[in-house]
Amino acid sequence: MPAFEYSALDTSGRRTRGVISAASGTAARAELRRRQLAPLSVERADEARRAGEKAFSLSAFRRAPSMPASARLLMTRQLATLVEAGLPLAEALQVVSAQTTRPEARRILIALRERVLEGERLSAAMAGFSASFPPVYRAMVAAGESSGALGQVLDRLATHLEKSAALSRKVMTALIYPGALAVTAMAVICVLMVAIVPRLAAQFDTMSITLPALTRAVIALSEFLQAGWLFLLIALALAILAVRLVLRRPAIRARLDRASLSLPLLGGFLRKLEAARFARTLSVLLAAGTVLPDALRAARKATTNAHIGAALDAVTAEVETGRTLSSSLEGARFLPALTLHMIAAGERSAALETMLPRAADQLEGELEAASSTALSLLEPAIIIVMGAVVALIVLSILLPILQLNTLALN
């Protein structure tokens, strides 16, 4: 039988390593559990040695296996269909893994199946692949397992992922033309500043005239771009790195997120985005049978705004003390008044699970309309800004020529 190198925790929580003989990795894990050891990793001895030989050269670049969003969506839909059809979970995972064409997704699905066969719950197995299955996803799966309706929850989860993907595709498609327009305009500006303006500046140097202030400014900027483009790239990279490091500090991140919600136009859009995401996630969790406080904690993990996240933590604490959800959310001040009224109506009629999806649909409709309006305004805004920049450059070139013509006429 092949040998497997393992790392496991004993009953006192200490890590232990060793080698065990078994017919397969699954059998090795089962034997470790029989010995009252909790396996952390199990690898064939020859594969572990090869991995150890490469560890030094690859450790800086190795990433945890991750499933792309498109593969996760397809897996969720297929798994929902198979589980609802009555197929056992392990067999459904095997079928889905055989159908996927992405190697990283197949490896993750095979690992999930092995852990399920060993007796782990699917949500617990997914916790080992946090890069592929975020906390909200795992919370929904856990709720489905607890309620005995995993197939229905996976179906709702797949529908939620499909709606999010459709909105993202729509936005990305709408951004193609403005993006191409912006790139073309930037290329034209770069050609003017790097190739055309320097030649004209050399011609202006031979003329005994005082150049206009605009022309001198454009020539100075052109010379700086030619001499300092490398400095600009380094400065940009350092600025991006500094921003990322600063945003890792929770206090600063919370203040910036709070300020972003107060920005004109953008602040309202961000509030609608977070509200729609929160309402949809909470509706799916409650429909899966999750109790309200746990559903709120899981839905809080779906938000990307630290200020709203802190407000939702306070909402969860208030709900646990007995306050209604609508009154607690009113203090959070990020949901529209109509959404709060819909939630309050759902609580009064004991139909919160029915009202929340309607509120989410209404918020997503408003968000889609706002996105369409913003994107329709983006194209003319890019044209106006880039046109103004090009016009300034051309004007800076024409002013000395007009000045020469005036001198000649005089």
Residues of the chain with pLDDT under 50: 47-63
Within a domain: residue 200? yes
CB atoms under 10 Å from CB of 53, counted, come to 10
Q: Give the CA-trace dihedral at 70, 73, 77, 78, to 10 degrees.
A: 50
115 shares its domain with 185: no
Angle at 256 between CA 251 and CA 261, to 5 degrees: 130
Residue 51: predicted pLDDT: 47
195 shares its domain with 100: no
| Residue 76 contacts residue 49 (beta carbons within 8 Å) | no
- With tokens 């921003």, the residue in question is 243
Q: Strand order in 38-44's β-sheet?
A: 15-21, 3-9, 38-44
| Residue 186 contacts residue 393 (beta carbons within 8 Å) | no
Residue 59: predicted pLDDT: 39
Domain that holds residue 91: 69-133
- pTM flag (> 0.75): no
Within a domain: residue 147? no
103 shares its domain with 187: no
Within a domain: residue 144? no
Within a domain: residue 201? yes
Count of domains in the chain? 3
Which DSSP string do the residues of 300-346 spell out, in sequence order? HTT---HHHHHHHHHHHHHHHTT--HHHHHHHH--S-HHHHHHHHHH
Within a domain: residue 270? yes
122 shares its domain with 164: no
262 shares its domain with 348: yes
Residue 402: predicted pLDDT: 83
13 shares its domain with 104: no
Cα separation, 288 vs 160, whole angstroms = 13
Residue 1: predicted pLDDT: 61
313 shares its domain with 182: yes
Residue 49: predicted pLDDT: 44
Residue 95: predicted pLDDT: 92
Angle at 122 between CA 121 and CA 126, to 5 degrees: 120
Backbone angles phi, psi at 6, to 5 degrees: -130, 160
Within a domain: residue 152? no
334 shares its domain with 221: yes
Residue 198, amino acid: P
- With tokens 């056992």, the residue in question is 88
293 shares its domain with 228: yes
Give the CATH number for residue 75: 1.20.81.30
Residue 53: predicted pLDDT: 41
Within a domain: residue 367? yes
Which DSSP string do the residues of 349-371 spell out, in sequence order? TT-HHHHHHHHHHHHHHHHHHHH
Element (H, E) at 40: strand 38-44
Q: Would you give the DSSP letter of residue 39?
A: E
121 shares its domain with 187: no
Cα separation, 388 vs 162, whole angstroms = 41
Cα separation, 318 vs 320, whole angstroms = 5
**Left (φ > 0), alpha (ψ -120 to 50) or beta: where does 148 sit?**
left
54 shares its domain with 73: no
Within a domain: residue 213? yes
Give Cβ neighbours of residue 278 (< 8 Å, ≥ 6 apart). Answer: 299, 302, 303, 308, 312, 335
227 shares its domain with 166: yes
Q: Which stretches within 59-149 are classed as H helix?
A: 69-84, 89-99, 103-117, 122-126, 135-147
